[in-house]
Amino acid sequence: MATLDQVEKLRERANVGYDEARSALDATNGDILEALIYLEKQGKVTPPAGGGYYSSEGKTESDKGPEQKSEKKCESGGESFKDALKRFGRFFGKLIHKGNVNNFEVLKGQESRISIPVTVLALLLLFAFWITVPLLVIGLFFGFRYHFQGPDLGIKPVNNAMDSAASAAESIKNSINNEKK
């Protein structure tokens, strides 16, 4: 049985008489939303424009719901979270591509012993730091040299820095050998 309060609310929203509002509420067990749909199906109430979807076009900021206000706040910061994630994904993809195009080479004399993508080197340094770094340092003392090959890292200044580290290790090794003699 519909209460007077429910009938009044339905009359305000649907713009129908008391009898129509009460019979719609009785048919839907007192559910106001279902009663509105019931009245729409009977043709007594016109459905909202746009197929019942809510549109915030032409509304002021105070007319919008809280989720739309927060979206506006996010946009005023420059970009939405989704756009930031897309930008981060593109950056990360480019970074991995550059790591796969460029190689890290281990040389003994002029002969290349190992050549791995820089991405693999970065992962080794990230997950096996305490194994990778000592092996690289020990390799310097055994006469290995390290170089980068590729379009982005195979440039003189980078490889000169690697050569100077190898030369420093060689001079330390020679000074230790000279002290023993």
Q: For residue range 30-46, list pLDDT tens digits in order.
A: 888 888 888 888 888 87
Does the model's pTM come out above 0.85?
no
Return the percent helix, strand and coil in the chain, to nearest 5. 65, 10, 25
Mean pLDDT of 81-103: 93
Tokens of 45: 């109430």
Does the pLDDT of residue 28 top 80, yes or no?
A: yes
Rounded CA gap, 114 and 146, in Å?
10
Does the pLDDT at position 61 exceed 60?
A: no
The percentage of the chain sitting over the pLDDT mark of 90, rounded to a whole number, equals 31
Residues 40, 49 contacting (CB under 8 angstroms): no
- Domain boundaries, given as residue ranges, for the chain: 4-42, 96-180
For residue 165, the model assigns a pLDDT of: 86
Nearest to 65 by CA among 54, 74, 76, 79: 54
Does pLDDT of 53 surpass 70?
Answer: no
Contact call for residues 167 and 160 (beta carbons, < 8 A):
no
pLDDT for 62 equals 54
Q: d(Cα 109, Cα 81) in Å, to the nearest integer?
A: 51
Distance CA 61, CA 179 (A): 80
| CB-based burial label for 2 (10 Å; 0-12, 13-18, 19+) | buried
Q: Choose the most confident range, by mean pLDDT, from 61-70, 75-84, 130-139.
A: 130-139
* 138 and 172 Cβ atoms separated by less than 8 Å: no
What average pLDDT does the structure give for the chain?
82
Query: What are the residues whose beta carbons fall under 8 Å from the beta carbon of 126, sequence distance 6 or more?
Result: none
Query: pLDDT for 100-145, tens place per residue?
Result: 999 999 999 889 999 999 999 999 999 999 999 999 999 998 989 9
